[in-house]
Structure 1
Amino acid sequence: MPTSRLLWWGGLAAAATGAVLCVIGWYQISGERFAERQIPYLASCSVPGAALLVAGAVLLAAAGRAASPGEAPAEVADEEATAPHEVPPSAAPSSDGPLLCVPGGTLAHRPDCPLVAGKPEAEPVGDRALGPCPVCEPQV
Structure 2
Amino acid sequence: MNIDWQDKHHSELTTRELYNLLALRNAVFVVEQQCVYQDVDGKDLQAGNRHLLGIADGQLVAYARLLSPEDKTSPVKIGRVIVFDRVRGARLGSRLMEKAISRCQLHWPGHDLFLSAQAHLENFYGQHGFVAVGESYLEDGIPHVDMLKNAP
- Fold shared, TM-score > 0.5 on shorter chain: no
Q: TM-score range by the shorter chain?
A: under 0.3
Instruction: Return the TM-score normalized by structure 2.
Output: 0.18
In proportion to residue count, which structure has more strand?
2
Larger Rg: 1
Provide the TM-score with structure 1 as the length reference.
Answer: 0.19
